[in-house]
């Protein structure tokens, strides 16, 4: 990118029209995220190459963003409105790309947060929920100490999730952000062994229990208590901390959830020759995420469906396999887990190691001598509205009370518990003040709109081949390179960032209704732009004669406001003309912003957003020529914008001609091929044309 181009600023991102955006229905991706991450905003910033600002948007609600960039189950993608067109946007992969590109910026901005409050808080457990609460409370100025029984922070993230899915350096980026704020960490510290719960209560003004589900459930069948039968969590912990694990050549994993998949794939990487899973559910009923199941199958892990464990069989003290019984159904008529079996139909699966992965539970033995109550089922007694336990000042969050869930769901719980603790310590009532993440989404795409949206295949992410990835715990999934990421970000439809009408200025002139390619405006006494139809192309705003239309996702006057700093001081002795190029960024990222040195590039989401005033402003600031550069023919992500953009350029030509300037100083250009860098070629050709005009007419 040339020195004169708009560059990424190392400052926190300030959302345009943030208040208005919060008052409107959310984009479906944002509404689906357990912490309402503003996907539309950060993907739009990625598309413009503004990676540090994208990071700010991501981390504003998610302190374990790097973790989520590699392991999140991405409900945002399931909700993406592109599902009605082709394929959902690759949101998780784009998150990872932005975080990796902004890594240096992120590390340089780590700062100690001054402790401004005289209250001390203890957090027991350093999983997603505990880390989130620590982050939020440190930002509020509290002294925070984390107690973690493992030798490193991260809870189950570091002790159970295999490194081929979550590299420890990725997790460490998130942890370093939090610890840099002044959070104290006491690792290798188990409550009840190294310090009692009552001692912690005495030392702190508030306590958060965020211990998660750190123990595996056993299986009450004959033979399940013999050597060679392992439990999932201890097995994964031993693998995570590189302890020696005795495995046979044939490993059988009982269970069909995501943890079972992790166990099976880990056993494969530890050298097991044959790994099989046996589960109650059919392939369609398995609780594990489909993509994780597919990856396991790629790694030659066998899965036997609709069989239940009956007994572990032995011969001379050695495990020979598992006797299983046929499953008739897994759920009852109300959808509740209630398996039934055909006891007359059994089978036998050979194995010399069996790993039980049928669910997790928590260990609350450290509460035995405290006033924190545990119910008859071994669960902490708590109030979901306040996150407080039976003992005032002691709060709970995460899977220890919510049950099994995703990391990002635990983050949401951590935010709520941190706010509850803050409100409590401020002496206020908690009920009714905690954040809620249940938001109304924009409706799905109407069929007639989905039919006219340009189809673009989702950019694929490469994996190590199965035979390679099974030989080590190396991260098997590659991230996007810049070319792929920018192209994928360009697929976003910008849902929720579209046009809004100032009814005090609207004259119901029908201009917006006449020009909108998607039929979004509905005009009665004033215009209403329907969010489910609007594609945020921006075509309408420059056309509105009453300037009544603004956009949620960007400032329609941003280009003209920044034009002076963009053009900069123009050397009166310059040999080459000063040219401003407003370039469609939908595909320019693929080709790069490498333009001639005398060309100042302005990335534009689409040339539909360029106003006549923007073009005139460039000349006012000293530009010798202005180019509006469209993407190659057939590549525009929006429908029917060419005529309007051409008309604006044509009108600007007429205006500068009236001012005595050669109309050739402004042109609408189009990249003519996908080879090389057509943007640089057309800009260089235009620059030479402007140079000849300047030589002929003078400045």
> Model confidence over 536-593: pLDDT tens digits?
999 999 999 999 999 998 899 999 999 998 888 888 888 899 999 998 887 666 555 6
Question: Does residue 9 register a pLDDT over 60?
Answer: no
Task: Let me know if 49 is exposed, middle or buried by CB neighbors in 10 A (0-12, 13-18, 19+).
Answer: buried
Q: What are residue 668's DSSP bridge partners?
A: 628
- Give the DSSP letter string of 570-595: PPTT-SS--EEEEEEHHHHHHH-S--
Cα–Cα dist 635/517, whole Å: 16
* Segment 174-224, tens digit of pLDDT: 999 999 999 999 999 999 999 999 999 999 999 999 999 999 999 999 999
Q: Does domain 120-212+384-425 have CATH number 3.50.50.60?
A: yes
pLDDT of 1 over the 60 cut: no
- Quote the percentage of the chain above a pLDDT of 70: 96
Residues 6+ apart with CB under 8 A from 306: 280, 281, 282, 326, 327
Q: Does pLDDT of 140 surpass 50?
A: yes
SS3 letters for 502-570?
CCCCCCCCCHHHHHCCCCCEEECCCEEECCCCCCCCCCCHHHCCCCCEEECCCCCCHHHHHHHHHHCCC
| 12 pLDDT higher than 60 | no
CB 449 within 8 A of CB 433: no
Largest CA-CA distance found in the chain, in angstroms, rounded = 102
Euclidean distance between CA atoms 66 and 378, whole angstroms:
33
215-360: CATH topology: FAD/NAD(P)-binding domain (3.50.50)
Distance CA 514, CA 512 (A): 5
625-630 and 521-523: which strand pairing?
unpaired
Domain with CATH 3.30.70.20 in the chain: 499-551
| Residue 303 vs residue 590, higher pLDDT | 303
| pLDDT recorded at residue 19 | 83
Q: What is the CATH number of domain 560-697?
A: 3.40.50
pLDDT of 484 above 50: yes
Q: What's the pLDDT at 592?
A: 58
For residues 282-289, average pLDDT = 95
- Domain boundaries for CATH 3.50.50.60 within the chain: 120-212+384-425, 215-360
Q: Which of 237-241, 323-327, 669-673 has the lowest mean pLDDT?
A: 669-673
CB 156 within 8 A of CB 71: no
Query: pLDDT at position 673, please?
Result: 64
What contacts 459, CB < 8 A, 6 or more positions away? Answer: 90, 93, 480, 484, 485, 487, 488
Per-residue pLDDT tens digits for 313-336: 999 889 999 999 999 999 999 989
CATH fit for domain 499-551, picks 3.90.1580.10, 1.20.1080.10, 3.40.50.300, 3.30.70.20: 3.30.70.20
- The whole-number pLDDT of residue 528 equals 95
At a CB cut-off of 8 Å and minimum separation 6, what does 564 contact? Answer: 621
Average pLDDT of 624-638? 89
Per-residue confidence (pLDDT) for residue 11, from 0 to 100: 44
The answer to whether residues 211 and 125 touch, using CB atoms and an 8 Å cutoff, is: yes
DSSP 84: G
C-beta separation of 644 from 685 below 8 A? no
pLDDT by residue (tens digit) across 62-102? 999 999 999 999 999 999 999 999 999 999 999 999 999 99
Quick one: pLDDT at residue 6? Answer: 31
Residues of the chain with CATH 3.40.50: 560-697
pLDDT at 514: 95
What global pTM score does this model have? 0.92
pLDDT at residue 5, as a whole number? 32
Backbone angles phi, psi at 343, to 5 degrees: -70, -10
Q: H or E segment at 178?
A: helix 168-179
The pair of three-digit structure tokens given for residue 172, joined into one six-digit string: 């460490």
Q: CA 204 from chain center: how many Å?
A: 34
Q: What is the pLDDT of residues 585-607, one digit of tens each?
A: 876 665 556 788 899 888 888 99
Copy the structure tokens of residue 520: 């979004």
**Res 10 pLDDT > 50:** no
The vertex-591 CA angle with 81 and 50, nearest 5°, equals 60
Q: Which residues 6+ apart lie within 8 Å of 401 measured at CB?
A: 379, 380, 382, 384, 413
Output the pLDDT for position 306: 98
Distance CA 214, CA 627 (A): 61
Q: Does domain 18-109+438-489 have CATH number 1.10.3210?
A: no
CA distance 307 to 293: 17
CA 378 to the chain's CA centroid: 34
Within the chain, all domains assigned CATH 1.10.1060 are found at 18-109+438-489
Name the phi and psi angles at 131, rounded to 5: -65, -40
């Amino acid at each position: 990118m040339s020195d004169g181009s708009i560059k990424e600023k190392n400052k926190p991102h300030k959302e345009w029209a943030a208040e208005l955006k919060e008052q409107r229905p959310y984009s479906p991706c944002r509404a689906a995220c357990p912490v309402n991450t503003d996907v539309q905003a950060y993907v739009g910033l990625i598309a413009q190459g503004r990676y540090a600002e994208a990071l700010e948007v991501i981390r504003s609600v998610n302190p374990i963003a790097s973790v989520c960039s590699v392991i999140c189950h991405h409900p945002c993608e399931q909700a993406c409105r592109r599902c009605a067109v082709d394929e959902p946007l690759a949101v998780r992969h784009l998150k990872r790309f932005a975080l990796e590109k902004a890594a240096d910026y992120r590390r340089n901005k780590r700062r100690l947060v001054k402790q401004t409050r005289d209250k001390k808080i203890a957090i027991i457990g350093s999983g997603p929920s505990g880390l989130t609460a620590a982050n939020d409370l440190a930002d509020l100025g509290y002294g925070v100490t984390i107690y973690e029984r493992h030798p490193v922070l991260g809870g189950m993230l570091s002790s159970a999730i295999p490194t081929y899915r979550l590299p420890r350096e990725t997790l460490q980026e998130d942890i370093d952000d939090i610890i840099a704020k002044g959070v104290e960490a006491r690792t290798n510290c188990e409550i009840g062994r190294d310090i009692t719960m009552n001692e912690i209560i005495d030392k702190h003004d508030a306590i958060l229990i965020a211990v998660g589900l750190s123990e595996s459930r056993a299986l009450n069948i004959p033979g399940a208590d013999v050597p060679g039968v392992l439990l999932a969590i201890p097995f994964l912990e031993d693998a995570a901390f590189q302890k020696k694990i005795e495995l046979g050549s044939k490993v059988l994993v009982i269970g069909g959830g995501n943890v079972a998949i992790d166990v099976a794939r880990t056993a494969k990487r530890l050298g097991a020759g044959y790994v099989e899973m046996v589960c109650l559910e059919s392939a369609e009923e398995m609780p594990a995420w489909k993509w994780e199941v597919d990856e396991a199958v790629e790694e030659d892990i066998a899965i036997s469906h609709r069989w239940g464990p009956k007994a572990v069989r032995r011969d001379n003290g050695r495990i020979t396999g598992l006797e299983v019984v046929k499953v008739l159904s897994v759920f009852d008529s109300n959808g509740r887990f209630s398996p039934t079996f055909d006891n007359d139909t059994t089978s036998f699966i050979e194995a010399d190691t069996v790993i039980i992965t049928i669910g997790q539970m928590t260990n609350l033995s450290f509460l035995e001598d405290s006033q924190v109550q545990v119910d008859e089922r071994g669960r902490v007694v708590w109030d979901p509205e306040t996150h407080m336990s039976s003992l005032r000042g002691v709060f709970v969050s995460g899977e220890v009370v919510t049950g099994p869930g995703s990391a990002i769901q635990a983050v949401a719980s951590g935010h709520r518990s941190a706010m509850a603790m803050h409100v409590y310590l401020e002496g206020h009532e908690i009920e009714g003040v905690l954040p809620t993440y249940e938001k109304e989404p924009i409706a799905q795409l109407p069929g007639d709109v989905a039919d006219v949206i340009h189809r673009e295949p989702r950019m694929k992410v490469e994996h190590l081949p199965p035979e390679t990835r099974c030989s080590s715990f190396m991260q098997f999934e590659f991230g996007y390179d810049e070319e792929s990421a920018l192209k994928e970000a360009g697929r976003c439809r910008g849902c929720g960032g579209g046009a809004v009408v100032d009814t005090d200025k609207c004259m119901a002139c029908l201009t917006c209704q006449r020009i909108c390619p998607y039929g979004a405006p509905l005009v009665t006494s004033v215009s209403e732009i329907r969010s489910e139809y609007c594609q945020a192309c921006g075509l309408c705003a420059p056309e509105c004669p009453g300037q009544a239309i603004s956009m949620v996702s960007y400032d329609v006057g941003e280009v003209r406001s920044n034009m002076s700093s963009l053009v900069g001081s123009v050397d009166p002795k310059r040999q080459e003309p000063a040219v401003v190029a407003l370039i469609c960024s939908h595909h320019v990222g693929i080709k790069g912003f490498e333009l001639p040195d005398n060309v100042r590039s302005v990335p534009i989401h689409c040339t539909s957003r360029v106003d006549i005033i923007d073009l005139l402003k460039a000349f006012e600031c000293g530009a010798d020529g202005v180019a509006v550069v469209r993407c190659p023919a057939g590549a525009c992500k929006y429908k029917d914008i060419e005529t309007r953009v051409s008309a604006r350029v044509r009108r600007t030509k007429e205006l500068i001609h009236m001012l005595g300037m050669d109309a050739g100083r402004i042109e609408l250009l189009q990249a003519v091929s996908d080879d090389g860098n057509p943007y640089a070629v057309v800009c260089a050709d235009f620059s030479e044309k402007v140079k000849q005009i300047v030589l002929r007419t003078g400045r």
